[in-house]
Amino acid sequence: MQASTEQILSSYNDRAPLAEASTIPAPWYVDPRIAELERLNVFSKTWQLVARTDQVQKPGDFVTTRLAGEPIVVVRGSDDTLRAFYNVCRHHAAAVVTQPCGHAEILQCPYHGWKYGLDGSLKGMPEFEGVQNFDRAANGLVPIRVETWECFVFVNLDLQAAPLQQFLGGLVKRLAPLGVSKLHYFDRRTYDIHCNWKVYIDNYLDGGYHVPHLHKGLNSVLDYKQYAIENEDRYCLQSSPMVASDEDAATGATRKGDRAWYFWQYPNLMINCYEGYMDTNYVVPVDADHCTVIFDFYFSDVSEARRAYNTESVNVGNRVQDEDLGICEDVQRGLKSRAYGAGRLSVRREAGEQLFHQLLAADLKQHPVSSLAAAD
């Protein structure tokens, strides 16, 4: 008989001390009911990165995306206020804004031409004379929460959610000294991976455990023994002193500084910094077995003269990513094996993974039955 969602959730002990803890059990990574519960209890209730501030700097600038299955548009109003809405026309539900990003004076639905102001208010409906009891003021685009931090724009589908800064907690003070808002966006790489989104996060949060085995190039510039792991609030900071090395020329040339900084913020955002360099990794669940990871690369100097160097740096990141992808897809296959249930954690290395699993368990156990009443 198939285990119930509650049985699957209760099979993880989130109170165990690290030395006695296990990972979340395999069904959490493969069961579509858990994926749906995450959509409702995690991705519809946490602050999610949807854009860069430089994309919505001027009145009329917009970005569209999807979050937890919902079409979203973020737009800066004529009054300079940044707003976000469900990108769903109040007439017959078409997407009002269809480009990924751009600039507009007015938001006009391509289906029957309804027009919305940059503040979401309904401005015009062609051929709607004679319609009775229609309250135009109540038919604007439906708003969602939007806030910014550093050079990032976040939205939250939960109107009751605590403010972004409260959600980020101690991460705000830890990232501030690195001055990432002074960096400039350079390029994006997107990866479709045949694994659950949590497999990718786990791989990131193993405290460098896999680095000497899987990433020989990266390992050559890190002082692996000094690799530090700090948990606080909803973030884990992994950092490591760096060593100059020409063992791997491209890595040595593009990964510099005193220290490498790897931040993870629950549930699905990573921010990686070296000197004059940042990349963000944003993990989007697709279904229980698939996720998409978006890498955005930033540099202190994005002038034409630096293009070749920056491109080489992106390629180094790309190589590390390729090394991770294969292993993540292997893990997803292993999680489905009858030979596996859950795994133990290294006390020295895997505290970040435990924090992730504990935060997730707390969110999923909050309303497990009511959220899935219709689906079960």
- Contacts to ligand FES by CB under 6 A: 89, 91-92, 94, 109, 111-114
Residue 107 or 360 with smaller CB distance to ligand FES: 107
Identity of the residue, 184 or 213, whose beta carbon is nearer to Fe ion in the bound complex: 213
The count of residues interacting with Fe ion (CB under 5 A) is 1
Residues 137-196 that bind Fe ion (CB under 5 A): none
Q: Pick between residue 92 and residue 216 the one whose CB is nearest to ligand FES.
A: 92
Structure tokens at 183: 């960096």
Q: How far is the CB of 175 from ligand FES (least distance, A)?
A: 40
User: Smallest gap, in angstroms, from Cβ of residue 205 to ligand FES?
Assistant: 43
Single-letter amino acid, residue 338: R
Q: How far is C-alpha 278 from the geometric centre of its chain's CA atoms?
A: 15
Contact pattern for Fe ion over residues 324 through 353, marking x by CB under 5 A:
x-----------------------------
Residue 139 C-beta: closest distance to ligand FES, Å: 11
To the nearest whole angstrom, how small is the minimum distance from the Cβ of residue 95 to ligand FES? 9
Cα torsion angle, 244, 247, 250, 251, sign: negative
Strands annotated E in the chain? 48-52, 61-67, 70-76, 82-86, 101-103, 107-108, 115-116, 122-124, 143-149, 152-156, 184-193, 228-232, 235-241, 259-265, 269-274, 277-287, 290-299
The rounded distance, in Å, linking the Cα atoms of 278 and 102 is 24
Interaction mask 282-321, Fe ion, x per CB under 5 A: ----------------------------------------
Q: Give the nearer residue to Fe ion in terms of CB position, either 150 or 324.
A: 324
Rounded to an integer, what distance in angstroms lies between the CA atom of residue 315 and that of residue 319? 6
Closest CA to 33 of 6, 5, 7, 3: 5
Give the separation between CA 366 and CA 141, rounded to whole angstroms: 30
Residue 324, contacted partner among Fe ion, ligand FES, none, CB below 5-8 A by kind: Fe ion
Which of the listed partners (Fe ion, ligand FES, none) does 144 bind, with a CB threshold of 5 to 8 Å by partner kind? none
Binding residues for Fe ion, rule: CB under 5 A, are: 324
